[in-house]
Amino acid sequence: MSVIRIATRYAKSLMDLAIEQNKLAGVSADINLIATAVHHRDLYMMLKSPIIHADKKNAVLEAIFKSKVDALTMAYLELLVNKGREAYLPEIAAEFVRQYKVMQNITTVTVTTASEMTESVLAELKKQLLASGATTEKLDVITKIDPELIGGFVLEFDNKRFDASVAQKLEDLKNTFSKNLYIKEF
């Protein structure tokens, strides 16, 4: 079975269970915490290791998360380990977050700028995005900094990219001038 299929099924089952027990918001916060934690190399390698026994993996996950997550989330982690699916935890967590955002009508927007944006600029950007109708009413804005943009910004959401950076404008000018459209040949 493919990783995408496994992640989708396990994320959906947790989503359904959380809705049934009226714990969706709490479980979502737990999964965000877990998604961040599994990016730590040591934890990731422990989950992927076929040598480490399931009991040890459960003990490690319990030591890390028991006091921080809901009992439902902890039981779910134990189920994953017992079913031998703990290696897919990063993908399952990412898929759960994606499904949660779809369910809650949240659009994730990534804004990359050359330098850090002020709160007022970020608020104006959110206002413009909401007014455009291109996004849902709820926004999850992720900001990134890339000095190579020189200035301007790059917006990415819903598999769309809007590049209004100075670096892109310079590249467009370079391409235009390289075509030599204004030189007449005799």
Residue with tokens 């996004």: 135
Residue 20 belongs to what domain range?
3-102
Cβ atoms within 10 Å, residue 106? 16
pLDDT of residue 181: 65
80-104, pLDDT tens digit by residue? 999 999 999 999 999 999 999 999 9
135-145, pLDDT tens digit by residue? 888 999 999 99
- Judged against a pLDDT cut of 90, whether residue 148 lies above it is answered with yes
- Which are the contacts of 105, defined by CB distance < 8 A and separation ≥ 6? 136, 137, 138
Q: What is the band of 111 on the pLDDT scale with cuts at 50, 70, 90?
A: very high
CATH number at 78 reads: 1.10.520.20
Show which of 48, 78, 102 is a domain's final residue. 102
Show which of 69, 85, 102 is a domain's final residue. 102
Show which of 61, 81, 102 is a domain's final residue. 102
